[in-house]
Amino acid sequence: MCFNSFFFLFFFMLINFFFFVYFIMNGLSVFFEWEIISFNSMSIVMSILLDWMSLLFMMFVSLISSVVIFYSKSYMNSELNLNRFIILVLMFVFSMVLLIISPNLISILLGWDGLGLISYCLVIYYQNLKSYNAGMLTALSNRIGDVMILMVICWVMNYGSWNYIFYFDFMKNDYVMFIISFMIIIAAMTKNAQIPFSSWLPAAMAAPTPVSALVHSSTLVTAGVYLLIRFNYLLIDMFFFKVLLFLSILTMFMSGISANYEFDLKKIIALSTLSQLGLMMSILSLGFPDIAFFHLLTHAMFKALLFMCAGVIIHMMNDIQDIRYMGGLSLYIPLTSLCLNISNLSLCGIPFLSGFYSKDLILEMVSFNSFNLMVFILFYLSTGLTVFYTFRLIMYVMINDFNLMMIYNLYDEDYIMLNSMFVLLFMSLLSGSFLSWFIFSYPYMIYLPFNLKLMVIYVSILGSILGFMVSNMGIYSLNKLLLSYNLSSFLCLMWFMPNLSTYGLSYIYLNFSQILFKNIDMGWSEIYSGKGIFNILKNYSVFYNIYQMNNFKIYLFSFILWFMILFIFFFI
Amino acid sequence: MLIYDIWFLFIYMFFVGNLIFVSKNKHLLVVLLSLEFIVLSIFFFFLVLLMFIDYDMYMLMVFLVFSVCEGSLGLSILVSMIRSHGNDYFQSFSML
């Protein structure tokens, strides 16, 4: 099953690549349409839009998913129901493809809902309590976005068609479009885990690692960015886009800080995903959709590679994900640490790896155009924080001493997993330059002063020095985290925002319902129904029993008595 | 006790008979006697009625025959009860 789906998806990727090159060279785009039903004035059509953006994205999605399925053949080989897992992953890929190729809101809804539902099924795959909680958090956060898209479908009926690409930039000044843009932005924010809804992404790391590599690095969390890229011509001058800028910059900053305090390997990678998502959304809301798309694609490559390396490390550490137990792995697993290093450095934006092309372009565009001082500072700070937690991770995992056991056997020559990682390694090295040559028909003109241009390098070097210094721990080093406990817990726990979605939504209502239950369900409503009526019936029937247990003649006598009274009153 | 009319006699006899019928007695025979008393009062009043409308009294005889049958039926019940229980005490009859 794994091999079949791997070959199918790889072949699909090659087809998509061929058509992408052909379409972008000739400037083509193809639109299929099948009208399912037409009633009164609305018609439900199934449309497929194939232009270079959707073909490129489909190529990347199918490449990553084929490699992940091949990887999970070895990663989850002790799983009894592996077929079930592969089928879920394939359904996920199908929903993603449906989302990518649709210019129609109803098929976007199908893909969107399918993504949310199948990611729930995949997150709860291990079926322990933590996975159930994480899955519930994921599904319900995504559900908010689904509701928003449903409401957009209702509001868009004002325009007579659900194919939004035809009219949405024409009707931009309408009040209805204002509401629609608000709801689309909220939907993208829930799927992308921006600030109010950001608690599900670190929690969803309870999923198996191949799922994290596919879903939480490249496809599910970029669905929101893709939706906003499609809706970009509508949203450019809207007010809520500026709100989105603010929230996504804060997301980027906050997750960069929180990743520095985390000790769980997958959570660090999840928070770095969140930070890069914030970067994508913020550059999108500044008005550069193609750069956001570029960063989306290169990020997908190296983040999936990073998750797969993390999976290999977790397997080797006997399923321990805590980085304090790891160390010195670069000596023992050279190939895996090669992949880990390259993807980490690509994440930092080291020159001429793939992440450099997108990230450096983003930062230079931010510096070149005149924006807010806060935007500027937070962008550069977040870039520095990215390097900071990356180097801290590299120090903890690869350079410090091994902390797990005395006798150990670290085996990474599992060539199934390694081959799948090498495919992504090749792509993550070259996809930066390859995409920049394909997507941008002309390079961006950027003219910056010397120090401003090198500001990225300065911030990166500063971050790496700090990352090196933070992770030097000896036996006698002071634990500064406990000294500044309030500040540290504020920064580590993602500014206490997960409590909004978990504690705040559960505790108050459960407490209140306990009060209600004790007082009403087990209290007053027992008196007015249930036991109260039972007691009434019991006591009164005892009374009636006493009252009725007498001679039959009494009744006959009462009859005669009544008759006599009647006679006396009416006949005399 | 006021007898303005012969009609009041009937009312009084009828009532007294019923009163004895519904009263709590020791013997079944008293109940049967009260039934006979009621029959007697009705016979008397039927006679007066037929006299007042100048009608022949054949119906009265038919009534007499049937009431006698009824009395004999009651007595047979009494006899069978005495044969099964040994006496005609019936205070154990109750509604429940």
φ, ψ (nearest 5 deg) of residue A475: -70, -35
Among residues A420, A408, A392, which one has the least CA distance to residue A333? A408
Among residues A466, A314, A319, A300, which one has the least CA distance to residue A397? A314
The whole-angstrom separation of Cα B85 and Cα A330 is 111
Please report residues of B whose CB lies closer than 8 A to that of A568. none
ipTM of the prediction greater than 0.90, yes or no: no
Place of tokens 């990225």: A456
- DSSP calls for A75-91: HTTT-TTHHHHHHHHHH
- Inspect the interface and report whether the beta carbons of A560 and B11 lie closer than 8 Å: no
Contact predicate A296/A222, CB 8 Å: yes
CB hemisphere CA count around B68 (13 angstroms):
6
pLDDT for A514: 92
SS3 labels along chain B = CCCCCHHHHHHHHHHHHHHHHHCCCCEHHHHHHHHHHHHHHHHHHHHHHHHHCCCCCHHHHHHHHHHHHHHHHHHHHHHHHHHHHCCCECCCCECC
Interface test with A, best of B2, B24, B26, B38 (most A CBs within 10 A): B24
Total residues belonging to chain B: 96
Of A548, A553, A571, the CB nearest to B22: A553
In this structure, how many other beta carbons lie within 10 angstroms of the beta carbon of residue A556? 16
CA A395 to chain centre: 28
- DSSP calls for A141-207: HHHHHHHHHHHHHHHHGGGT-SBGGGTTTTSTTSHHHHHHHHHHHHHHHHHHT-GGGTTHHHHGGGS
What digits encode the pLDDT tens for the residues A75-95?
A: 888 888 888 999 999 999 999
Please report residues of A whose CB lies closer than 8 A to that of B11. 567, 571
What digits encode the pLDDT tens for the residues A214-227?
A: 888 878 778 889 99
In this structure, how many other beta carbons lie within 10 angstroms of the beta carbon of residue A423? 18
> Based on the number of CB atoms within 10 Å of its own CB, is A523 exposed (0-12), middle (13-18) or buried (19 or more)?
exposed
Interface test with B, best of A548, A553, A555 (most B CBs within 10 A): A553
Give the tokens for residue A458: 């300065």
Give the tokens for residue A506: 């559960």
Task: Read off the pLDDT band of B96 (50, 70, 90).
Answer: very low
Q: In this complex, is the C-beta atom of A549 within 8 Å of any C-beta atom belonging to chain B?
A: yes
Closest residue in chain B to residue A551, using alpha carbons only: B94
The whole-angstrom separation of Cα A260 and Cα A253 is 11
- Inspect the interface and report whether the beta carbons of B19 and A559 lie closer than 8 Å: no
Give the tokens for residue A199: 């608690």
CATH class of the domain whose range is B1-95: mainly alpha
Of B18, B91, B96, the CB nearest to A560: B18
Place of tokens 């290093």: A341
The whole-angstrom separation of Cα A537 and Cα A535 is 5
The SS3 of residue A290 is helix
What digits encode the pLDDT tens for the residues A55-76?
A: 999 999 999 999 999 999 888 8
- Inspect the interface and report whether the beta carbons of A551 and B21 lie closer than 8 Å: no
The lowest-confidence range among A5-19, A57-71, A540-554 is A540-554
Q: Which helix (H) or strand (E) holds A8?
A: helix A2-26
Look at strands A42-50 and A30-39 and give their pairing: antiparallel
Å from A536 to nearest chain B CA?
A: 22
Task: Read off the pLDDT band of A486 (50, 70, 90).
Answer: confident
Radius of gyration of chain B (CA): 16
The whole-angstrom separation of Cα B16 and Cα B21 is 9
Closest residue in chain B to residue A559, using alpha carbons only: B22
The whole-angstrom separation of Cα A460 and Cα A344 is 13
Q: Which helix (H) or strand (E) holds A43?
A: strand A42-50
Q: Which residues pair with A47 in a beta bridge?
A: A33
Å from B21 to nearest chain A CA?
A: 9
Predicted confidence (pLDDT) at residue B78 exceeds the cutoff of 80: yes
Of A549, A551, A564, the CB nearest to B15: A564
Mean pLDDT of A373-378: 90
Mean pLDDT of A141-153: 92
Average pLDDT, chain A: 88
The whole-angstrom separation of Cα A133 and Cα A204 is 9
Q: Where are the domains of chain B?
A: 1-95
pLDDT for B92: 56
Q: Where are the domains of chain A?
A: 1-472, 523-571
Mean pLDDT of A20-47: 88
The whole-angstrom separation of Cα A228 and Cα A289 is 8
